[in-house]
Amino acid sequence: MLIGHYVCVFDPAEAGLSKEKEKANPIDEEVLKILRRWVRCPENTKLWGEAFQKLVLSMSDQQIITGIALMVSAITRLRCGISAYHWQITIYLVWFSSFTHLATLTFLRGYLHENSPMRVWRFCFMNILILLLLAALVPTGNRNWLPDEGPDLTGSPAWCLFKYHSRGVNVTSFTTMLFSVLVLCISYATRAIKLFQWSSKYSRLILRTKPGNVLKSHIQKLYRGRENAKTKRWIFSIPYNILSAVLLVVRSWMDVLESMLWEITWLLIALIWGTLRLFATRNSTIDENYNILEENSWGFGQCLPTAMLLLLLFSGIETYIETKRAPAEASSVSASPRVSSLSIDTGGNKTPVISASAESSPFHSTSPHDEDITDQEAAETRLDQQLGGVVRSATTLSLEERSLGSLSFCQIMSRQMDSNINIGLNQLSRVDRAGSLRSRLRLRYFRYNIGLYR
């Protein structure tokens, strides 16, 4: 899912860092430029981007809740005799949940910057999950924790191995535990820093901007010294070339570490490591206890989590449909004709208040500078439309008079109609000055009808 988001809709220029005034990452730009030559991307990237964002957001919530639930359930079972083997399996299952959640935080960086309340509670839950996982990982470096040589302790209660400590170090267990803790801490620290704008700016200033400026100043001094030196220019050229090479290498690595490509690569490395440790624990235990093979059969605990993955798909499809429907509804509303609104105040005022929009008038008030009537046929056509509009307005007024029987209502409508008639007469006078005999006769007929109406 994250790879699909990166290849199809990810835009390095809009990676949620607009307030930090950073440029687009050059590594992501070049990689996506190459990939999108071979992969056909959707045309409406904004529509797909919102759907992917909703999908990633749902997956992030699901994984953090799943990880905390697994860890809490394993801890509550310590007193009940959960085995060391199942404790180890639980650790690496929570490992997958935690790293999936950490990876989604990078993709949701811009969204979380704009929604600070959601960022705060996610940060709190992330701390809870990481602390629980670290507390579960550290005891597995014990010498007696599932040793490669010696008695089989896979069926022993994990609580006994927590309480019993012996001298010496099991190199394999300790190295595995130490590497897992380092990977987890580095991943958590980088995501926590990027989660807030102030920490992102400060860390970038300390780790990249200031050291880069210091190195650039030394390079400039060496360059000026080399240019001003008349003899023995190699004294300045050698350190100048070395520092320039160091600057290019460091900047390249910093661009790689800040890119979204590295985030995906780091996630894959962490997931591969967790998968290897999961299978290593399982394979070492199968040789001693064949009853573990019974766990290969699918039951309620396997079918339900797999079916829950469909919720992510449904959420993405729903978001895509809603986002696709929104522009169509907006365009239909803007294209629909406006109708004059009639509001009657029945409060303390006895006289009803009537509001009519300019678009509801049979004549559109336009200044002489707005349009120039040069086409005689168009002028006559417009004249016909205006005559019909006034007749319809008068008919509507008579119906309202008969139905409501309110004198004040009729007076207000009469004033509104007089205003519309004056606008129409001003427009038609332009046709009268430069119109044909036919249009002049129609104008006289129109004025005659207006006189009868008044």
Inter-CA distances, 284 with 47, 78, 338, Å: 48, 22, 75
Q: How far apart are CA 273 and CA 271, in angstroms?
A: 5
Do 316 and 448 sit in the same domain of this protein? no
pLDDT in tens, 233-284: 788 888 889 999 999 999 999 888 888 888 888 888 988 998 888 888 777 7
Whether residue 190 sits in one domain with residue 45: yes
The string of pLDDT tens digits covering residues 61-118 is: 888 998 999 999 988 888 877 888 888 888 988 999 898 888 888 778 777 888 888 8
* Residue 188 sits in the same domain as residue 309: yes
- Cα-to-chain-centroid distance, residue 308: 23
- Regarding whether 406 and 298 lie in a shared domain, the answer is no
Residue 173, domain member (yes or no)? yes
- 301 with 381, same domain: the answer is no
204 in a domain, yes or no? no
Domain boundary among 296, 331, 366: 331
Please indicate, yes or no, if residue 286 is contained in any of the structural domains.
yes
Query: 370 and 272 share a domain?
Result: no
Please check whether residues 19 and 157 belong to one and the same domain: yes
Q: Above 50 in pLDDT, residue 184?
A: yes
Number of structural domains, the chain? 2
Q: What is the pLDDT of residue 129?
A: 92
**Domain boundary residue, one of 331, 349, 374:** 331
pLDDT above 60 for 351: no
Kindly tell me if the per-residue pLDDT of 143 is higher than 50. yes
- Looking at the structure, do residues 176 and 305 belong to the same domain, yes or no? yes
Show which of 331, 347, 370 is a domain's final residue: 331
Residue 99, in any domain of the structure: yes
Q: Is residue 6 part of a domain?
A: yes
Task: Please provide the average confidence, as pLDDT, over all residues in the chain.
Answer: 72
Range with top average pLDDT, 43-47, 50-54, 288-292, 343-347 = 50-54
376 and 281 within one domain: no
Q: Is the CA virtual torsion 174, 180, 182, 185 positive or negative?
A: negative
Domain residues for 394?
358-453
At which residue do the structure tokens 């046929």 appear? 377
CA distance linking residue 77 with residue 96, whole number of Å: 21
